[in-house]
Chains A and B, each alone.
Chain A
Amino acid sequence: MPDRKQNLPQLYRFCFLMTGDARKAQEVFHATLREAALRSSNGETPSDPFWLYRDARVRCLEASEQGVQAEDVDLNEDDLSPGAPTQIKKLDANQLAIWISAAPEPQRTALALFYLGEFDHEEILDLAEIKLSDFSRLLAQARRQFQAWLNATFPQEEQVI
């Protein structure tokens, strides 16, 4: 991981993507760092470099079990469009976080870690506890589902030839 000061904002963003709720994300973030500070003051600094993310992930999953749950529905899928970046620019971060946090596990963790841009794929496999083939499938599926949702939310104008 790069500089630790850069990691903490990314850790918060991870919590936000996992929970889809700024309040819950802050609670998880504070709880994780308090635990880390407590361990550190007791001379028990974890040797695992990904300890913060592992701990935060567990807390996020626990926090997500409370409150409104996402429905288990089959989402439409579309091919990725060259216009997707334009559609994504129209989104705000909350919409993205809500979409990711509604994904089932371990797809949710995989998406949150992947789009943080902090980890290579092997580190994500380790953190999300999944196999490469599953990670690849979940990521490809999520892109297509997200594209379908974008198409439904921000329909692209037909090109006139």
Chain B
Amino acid sequence: MKAAHLSRQQRILVHCAPISDEHVSDRAMRAAIFRARGTDEFANQQSFDRAVTALVEAIPIPADVAEWFSREDLVPRRKWSWKKTARNPAVVAIGIALAVIAGVFAFQFSEHLHDFPGIGTARKLLGVAGSTKSVMLDPMKVDAGTLGDLFFMKHQLEHYDVPPEFADFRTLGCRVFDDEEGHRVAQIWIVEKKMQLFLFPAEKDPKSGAVRDFSGWRNVEQEGWAGVVREKNGVCFMAALRGSARDLAPYLAKAKE
């Protein structure tokens, strides 16, 4: 028969191995028995223990002892303790699964906590900002704030106005294009930190057609680009630059002062 290579812990467990699989309560014991099975030493141990157990089962029960056996209310039923329940592999597996599900929900909730109407379009436009070359825009060296009149007169885009926070910056160029959904988008490239400004229609309720407005400035980030978005008169304005929301914060703070 083969010789088993058992670890010290497995040797300890094998010495305590029950003769019945019914009493193999944990995986470590099962593994130790599995490794020891087939060895002479373990076979001798098991046949020795079986013989002793058979002898114990043959211990006669005196008649006056047997009288107690009909009594019903002496032995407490075995209950699962919290400790034992918590160590049950099925309970552990369910616990881990619930923790993962809760984690995913928490992550999704935190991700969408700062969402606002039109965030999808804003993210797409950050992608556009990343891929835009200066030659794609019409050269235009003016103050950004003056371009609102141009958009209105040349493209009939009402309320496409650059907010005061960004109105004084000099521009390099601008263009008007249709996005994937056919919305008219105005794009302005300014000298200041090669920032790009976007004006696009605010999101509307598909049933009522009402503009889904929101107040104040909202942050959005996508692939290394950051933007701050504001909605006014049904038009969203976004200032975007390569970096993080922290890089845009000074421009908004300056306006508050």
Contacts and interface: CB of A to CB of B under 8 A. Distances in A.
Interface of A: 1, 4-5, 7-9, 12-13, 16-17, 22, 26, 29-30, 33, 36-37, 40, 45-49, 51-52, 79-82, 84-85, 88-89, 91, 93, 96-97, 114-117, 119-124, 132-133, 135-137, 139-140, 143, 146-147
B69 interface: yes
A151 to B, nearest CB: 13
Contacts of A124: 16
Contacts, number: 146
B59 A88 contact: no
A37 B70 CA distance: 13
B68 A88 contact: no
B255 interface: no
Nearest to A7: B75
Q: What is the predominant secondary structure among interface residues of chain B facing chain A? A: helix
B178 interface: no
B195 interface: no
Given A16-B59, A52-B74, A85-B48, A47 B79 contact: yes
Contacts of A89: 51, 55
Contact of A36 (B26, B61, B75): B75
Nearest to A14: B56
B56 A117 contact: yes
Contact of B16 (A51, A79, A96, A135): A135
B52 A49 contact: no
B55 A93 contact: yes
B52 A22 contact: no
Contact of B18 (A4, A48, A120): A120
Interface in B81-102: none
Contacts of B57: 13, 117
Interface string B5-30: 00000011101101110011110010
B53 A8 contact: no
B65 A12 contact: yes
Contact of A133 (B12, B40, B65): B12
